[in-house]
Structures are given as C-alpha cells and as structure tokens.
A and B are shown apart, each in its own frame.
Chain A
Amino acid sequence: MSLIMLSSPHAHGGDSIRMMMFTVILALLPASLFSVYLFGWLSVLIIVTCMLTALLTEAACLKLMQRPLSALLDNSAALTGLFLALTLPATTPWWMAVVGSIFAIVLGKQVYGGLGHNIFNPALSARVILLISFPLNMTTWIIPMSIHMGAVTPTVNLYDFSQCLTLFFGGVNALPAVIAQGLDAISMASPLGQVKTQATLGVPVGQALAAYHYNVLDAFLGFEAGSIGETSALALLIGGIFLLARHSITWHIPFAYLGTVALLSAIFSSIAPDQFTPPMFHLFAGGLMLCAFFMATDPVSSPVTPNGQIVFGIGCGIITWSIRSFGGYPEGAMFSVLLMNCAVPLIDHYFRPRVYGHAKEKGDS
C-alpha cells in the first residue's frame, strides 16, 4: 500500500457483502424456525441439504474459475441455498433439493460471471426449473403437522427424525405402507391451487374457499399448505421489517409490489367477487410475502434507483396478480419476479433520478 495511487475517501462506513448477506439470513430465521415447527425434521433436512449443496457447488465453481475460495465466506451461496429451501414443498426428496441447489448456483449465478452479475434471482430460477421439470413433486403439499397431527392420521410423525430421514432420502415407497398411506391422507392442495382448480370447474370463489375451510387468520399465521418457508406471512413480515430497520432493503419494492397486488385484487374482487379472490387472500397466499420482501429485493437482480424499484415492484405486482387470476399456474409470484428481472437494465436506464441542477425533462427520452 506504499506508493499505490489511492483516491479519497480515506474512510469507510464498514458495510460488507458478508454482513449484508448475513443480515438477510438472520431475517429469514423466523420463517425457517416456523417451518421447522410446521414440518418438523423434513424442513431441517431440506434447509441443510440445500445450503450445503449450494456451498459445495459454489466452492467447485470457484475452483474451476480459479478464483479464491474466500469468496465462500461472503454468505451469498448459503443464502441462495436457504432461499431455495424455503420455496420447496415439505415432501421434496433429497435429490431434488440437490439438483435445485446446483442449478441455482451454476445456472443461476456462476455462468453469468459469479456474484453480482446474474440477471435472474438464482434461487427463483432454480425453483422454476424444478417446478417445470417435476410438476407433480413441486405441487404436492401436506397439511402442516403441528395443527392436524393425530387428528387425521396417527401414523405420520414429522417430529420423528428417522421417519423423516427415510422419507427424505428413500421417498414414499421406502416408508412402511401404513405411514405412506397416512402421508397420502394428509396431502392437500394449497389455497391458490384450490381456487384455481375450482375456478376451472366454474365454482365461484366464495364457495371454493368455504369448501377449503379457508381462514384469513390461519393464512396470516401460516397454518396452511404451502412451501416450507412461504406459509407464514407473519414470520416473513417480521423478517422484512427487520431488513427495513437494518437498512438492508428499502421500502420501495415490497410496498409497491404488495400494494399493486392488493389494489388490483381489491378492485376486481369488488367488481366480480365470484371470479376474483379478495386482497387478503392474495397477500397471505403462496410465495407473495417471501417474494416481496426477500426475492424481489435481492440487490443483484433488482433496480438500484428508488424510482426504478417502485416501477419494478408495480410490474411484479401486476404480473403476479395476472398469473394468479388468469394464468395456467396457480401461483405467479416467482414468475413475476423473474420476468421483471429481465427488465432491470432497462428500468435502471430509464428511471434514473433527476440529477442535481438538471431540469426534470432532461432525464432521457
């Protein structure tokens, strides 16, 4: 450092990539812990497998690209693994978690040049690859254990480590027949899936939800079928507020995203309540909360300017609501984020803030 040219400033605020990523992991803690409460050891196994695989894949990639392995310490690979894990259903087999994590790191991130260069959110792209490749596994949900345990089937116990281990590594067929049947009995559709299937049959929204015993409070707290980390809007909200308080994210994307979904669903469900689901249903259903606070705000694949972030959030909201209301898939949150990811360079270019001393219209045409 003796005679190398160094420009000012000669002071630094102390932020680092490692701390930023760690903050996000910390913010996901409530959702992760709640998933363990709901889905027991299955959840632990999925999270650990995904994170480990992601780290190992990252290490292999760094080795191949002849980059220092110290980059592993930036926590970004671990975070990608955790993200992916939280979007998977509880019954995901081990190989799918492994394949998904490898996809996320290799195709989602490293082929673009590593950290900071990927266009798409790595965890979400892996999740979409899995969903398209293994649609059945990725849409099989089980009733959250802790509430219905015993009531439906006494044979399945997700807090039993050996049972979960067998299910995770051996699949349903490796389980004793009784347990496999029990498992079958507790599988059910997610609220979004229920509404979508019923809608194709022409059943009005209200009836479909009533038949499903849908309850807004349960959905908010997370006692419903869904991916392990997506069920509880409350846990995710706590994490999101933590991120906002720590200044890891700004309010723009989540606010614009959730606001748009809420607004659109409020308008349309008041016009045609039989066809469109109400805002509260939308907000607490599926992966919306996770996407709004964690996936869409992923710094690498979201716009950098505040105005751009608002546009990005609105775009995500419109696409999510449209796919949910009109599309073939019951859930559109992850597709919306990925689609908007493509538009980020364009958004960054056109929604730059007005520079000091320049007239408003001078931005760019």
Chain B
Amino acid sequence: MTGLLYALASLGAFALVAGLILAIAQKAFHIEGDPMVDKIDALLPQTQCGQCGYPGCKPYATAVAAGEEEVNHCVPGGERTMLQIADLMGVEPKTVEQEAAAPRLAFVREDECIGCTLCIKACPVDAIIGAPKQYHTIIADHCTGCELCVEPCPVDCIDMVTKPELLEHWSWPLPDTKRSQLAHERREQHAGHV
C-alpha cells in the first residue's frame, strides 16, 4: 500500500514539475504569430482576378482566415495554392473546382480602341496606361491575366493571349524516366487524396 502511495506521489510530483516547466517555457518562448490573413495572402497569386467571388486576393484571404470561406476558390493558384492554404489552416484539402488555365495576358488591339478608360478603371493592378481619347496599352510585365478588363470594354478590343515563353525562363522538366514519373504520379495522388 505504501509502495503504491510512493509511486503515486513521485509520479504526481514529476508531473507537477514537468507541467511547471512547460508553463514557464510557454510564457518565455511565446512567439507572436503573424496574422493569418497576411500568411494566406502571401500564398495567393495576387492576380486580383475576383474569380473566387471576392474583389481581390486580400479580401479572400481575410474571409478564409476568418473561417467564413473554403480554401479551394482560388482558380489561378490551382491545386498547389489550395494545398498550401489547407496546410497552413490545418483543414482538410478540397478539390479545386476549376482547372487553372495557362497563364495569359490581356492585349489591346490599339486601332480599335476608342480611349474610353473603362478598362483602366477596371484593372486591379494598374497595368493599363492611357488617357481619355488616347489608345490604351497594357504593360505586359504587370498584367496578371485576370480578364477583368475584357468585360467593361465597349468595343471588345481586348484579347487574352497566351503568355509568350521566354528562353531565359525555360527550365528543365523532370527527367523522362519511369522512376521520376512514378514519383510524380504518387505526388499527384497524394495531393488529390489527403
């Protein structure tokens, strides 16, 4: 009987000490976490396209952080972004409803442009330059391909063109061996099912 008491007492004391250490450690090494909104926002592709139903990337990030919105609504970000957000939020990944299209750019057919500035107002990243009654031009380096300028144009002179592939931006694909393919498939599966 006393053996049992000793055991209980010593274990209890040990637990108490360990608990105290943990409590002190938590206070001492407390890390002020970055606000979730910024973390999610950093993962989003910043196209500001509104395809998620929110007026921009930050509002969507705010909604996701507040738990009001699912993690799978970012279309340009695709599966990768969804997985990263899900991982960050610690929630179950969802399937992405829409396939992300190849990156595209808006292009103004300048001889048809009437200079109405409507597209300039619509552009979320100020990537269109021009003045009233002047041709507008899209700065290709800044265009996120969000397509928000296409709709407002009264004369339909904005095309979405495929982003040209640059030699400097070319990168090696995975080697074409069975093993790397297998690894790739497994990764895809993994991403799809977790």
Contacts and interface: CB of A to CB of B under 8 A. Distances in A.
Q: Direct A–B touching in the complex (beta carbon < 8 Å)? A: yes
Which size bracket describes the interface of A in this complex? under 10
Interface residues of B, number: 4
7 contacts: A4-B176, A5-B172, A5-B173, A5-B175, A5-B176, A7-B172, A7-B175
Contacts, number: 7
A74 to B, nearest CB: 15
Interface string B152-189: 00000000000000000000110110000000000000
A5 B176 CA distance: 7
Q: What 6 A-B pairs come out closest when comparing CB atoms?
A: A4-B176, A5-B173, A5-B176, A7-B172, A5-B172, A7-B175
A4 B181 CA distance: 14
A115 to B, nearest CB: 12
Contacts of B176: 4-5
Interface in A1-24: 4-5, 7
Contacts of A5: 172-173, 175-176
Interface of B: 172-173, 175-176
Contacts of A4: 176
Nearest to A68: B178
Interface of A: 4-5, 7
B190 to A, nearest CB: 15
A66 to B, nearest CB: 12
Contacts of B172: 5, 7
A4 B172 CA distance: 12
Contacts of A7: 172, 175
A5 B172 CA distance: 8
A5 B175 CA distance: 7
A7 B172 CA distance: 9
A7 B176 CA distance: 10
A7 B177 CA distance: 12
A13 B175 CA distance: 20
A33 B172 CA distance: 51
A5 B174 CA distance: 9
A4 B177 CA distance: 10
A316 B145 CA distance: 60
B50 to A, nearest CB: 38
B67 to A, nearest CB: 37
Contacts of B175: 5, 7
B187 to A, nearest CB: 15
B71 to A, nearest CB: 32
A317 B173 CA distance: 45
A4 B175 CA distance: 9
Nearest to A1: B176
Nearest to B177: A4
B182 to A, nearest CB: 11
B44 to A, nearest CB: 32
A79 to B, nearest CB: 22
Nearest to B176: A4
A7 B173 CA distance: 10
A132 B101 CA distance: 60
A4 B176 CA distance: 7
A5 B180 CA distance: 13
Contacts of B173: 5
Interface centre among B172, B173, B176 (most CB of A within 10 A): B176
A69 to B, nearest CB: 15
B129 to A, nearest CB: 40
B68 to A, nearest CB: 41
A72 B101 CA distance: 45
A7 B180 CA distance: 14
A315 to B, nearest CB: 30
A4 B173 CA distance: 10
B183 to A, nearest CB: 12
A361 B172 CA distance: 33
A263 B179 CA distance: 45
A141 to B, nearest CB: 44
A94 to B, nearest CB: 38
B175 to A, nearest CB: 7
A89 B175 CA distance: 47
B151 to A, nearest CB: 40
